Chains A and B, each alone.
Chain A
């Protein structure tokens, strides 16, 4: 498939510091693509190179097939929504939105029509005469979005767009963004450090660390089949134990793990060699805790009630910690701190990791 936005071997160094290190990603038309990573992983620098604010040290940015690496920001068919929103304080909301169209020297009538159109879509029609300082956080966020969208960019770039909103409004706005993106059929690239946000909005996620892309895939792919311990722990929570030896029987592996203090199970895979170092990863919600039976023996050390679920931290006999999550289905809780429990899981719930 021909990528709409194509990033080829892109690098950016600031002095001795390499912010983006040989990154290649292809993004399809109409995708909602996330760049996810902790702060300082280079995701914002990558976005700024796509926008044209930073010149890459090496590599190529292609937009709709054309090499735009040398095209300055003001001539690129991308528009950006800034983390600080960057609304012009001396202009009204209407003039803020019209700013980009005026740069394109469109006719007054068309500018007015397009501003009204986008204002209506984003419920800003009543606020067009206000100054940005007179708006609430959520309203400012919508103005920033409107100002970028009114230009009908090939790609909309969003730099931590919801960071300044409180939690409820943020969730609401995430769904709103997805709806808008589908309606307009635009390509969105969003930068975020919030894994929950990335999973909620994106069609695909690129997980970044120290300037490199570790994995690219749909939210389900990245969550279910992480390539490394880092990805497994960054996207959601994971219990990871190092394996010593593995025995295969059919589709199942039985793994000896000194770290876990016994045998654990995982689904068989050909991707990971069990002759060198390898690890087993299992998500807390897939761990079953029973008072009797088989599995890894441990003692419940901590318990926290999180509404939708109950978190248990179990100290295994080996000394390692195991996190388990029981979804709250309304049943009575039969475990308390100090209880001896046996932890187990279905073989297909666990994954083998090579690094």
Chain B
């Protein structure tokens, strides 16, 4: 491999710094002993303790995790069904429109989605709260789950199920016994991705929430209106940790070579 020139090195360094320096600053200052956000006053974990003892924050975290876990489960289930239709049935009337609409929420402005869902919930007379947030999250994370499932399903040899049928398995059982075990990593991966997307969502949550149901990002957002405290840094760092863990885990699980490295 050719050695990168000084210009290449500088570009990479500048690019990465642009992307990640704010996060590094955030993480570093979450361990700041000083009350002032911008002045370093020595190492301390007191803000983590403060965050964990902050009843309002803990309440928000509980709602966030509950919403994320529930919506991720729905999104994975619905996304899988959509992926099965898209990959297995493939050529049905309107399959182009179906495939397009499946991924459209990925690029749809979140504000538009938020407004439309708010309108829908109001029209249907549904009380807004954790349930409506969950529904909204499931809707927009479903397309990500579907894409993850689609790519895995497309890799799966369709003659596997035919082989199972040939060996005496009825069609549905063939799917359960052969396709599902081989899709397991994709299920986990889709769930984790949906979970992390839901966990840090602010816009959609704000539109679809009701009184007394504030997710963690909403709590943080309302706190910084009164100034950024080191406590917010600490909470953000914790969320960052969870999200990074989720993304890395989802990548590792969905890696196709992960299966072939299983020992004898």
- A-side residues, CB < 8 A to B, are 51, 53, 72-75, 78-80, 82-84, 86-90, 99-100, 103-104, 129-131, 133-134, 147-148, 151
Instruction: Assess whether A86 is in contact with B168, with CB atoms less than 8 Å apart.
Output: no
Known: A75-B168, A88-B182. 6 other contacts (CB 8 A): A78-B166, A84-B157, A86-B163, A90-B259, A104-B168, A131-B262
A165 to chain B, nearest CB (A): 18
Q: Give the chain B neighbours of A87 by CB distance below 8 A.
A: 163
Q: Give the chain A neighbours of B168 by CB distance below 8 A.
A: 74-75, 100, 103-104, 151
Q: How long is the Cα–Cα vector from A223 to B24 in the complex, in angstroms?
A: 77
Q: Does B162 lie at the interface of the complex (its beta carbon under 8 Å from any beta carbon of A)?
A: yes
Query: 10 closest Cβ contacts across the A-B interface?
Result: A103-B168, A100-B167, A86-B163, A86-B159, A133-B260, A90-B181, A73-B165, A82-B159, A74-B165, A80-B166
Residue ID in chain A nearest B257 by CB atoms: A133
From A72, A82, A84, A129, B264 is in contact (CB under 8 Å) with A129
Instruction: Assess whether A86 is in contact with B167, with CB atoms less than 8 Å apart.
Output: no
Instruction: Assess whether A90 is in contact with B166, with CB atoms less than 8 Å apart.
Output: no
Contacts A82-B159, A84-B157; A90 near B182 (Cβ below 8 A) = yes
B163 to chain A, nearest CB (A): 4
- B-side residues, CB < 8 A to A, are 157, 159-160, 162-171, 174, 178, 181-182, 259-260, 262, 264
6 pairs, A vs B, C-beta closer than 8 Å: A73-B165, A74-B167, A74-B171, A79-B166, A130-B264, A131-B260
Q: Give the chain A neighbours of B162 by CB distance below 8 A.
A: 53, 73, 80, 82, 86
Q: Give the chain B neighbours of A99 by CB distance below 8 A.
A: 164, 167
Instruction: Assess whether B259 is in contact with A147, with CB atoms less than 8 Å apart.
Output: no
Instruction: Assess whether B163 is in contact with A88, with CB atoms less than 8 Å apart.
Output: yes
B88 to chain A, nearest CB (A): 14
B241 to chain A, nearest CB (A): 32
Q: How long is the Cα–Cα vector from A89 to B174 in the complex, in angstroms?
A: 14
A317 to chain B, nearest CB (A): 54
Q: How long is the Cα–Cα vector from A86 to B156 in the complex, in angstroms?
A: 10
A67 to chain B, nearest CB (A): 20
Q: Give the chain B neighbours of A82 by CB distance below 8 A.
A: 159, 162-163
Instruction: Assess whether A89 is in contact with B182, with CB atoms less than 8 Å apart.
Output: yes
Q: Give the chain A neighbours of B165 by CB distance below 8 A.
A: 53, 72-74
Contacts A89-B259, A90-B181, A90-B182; A51 near B166 (Cβ below 8 A) = yes
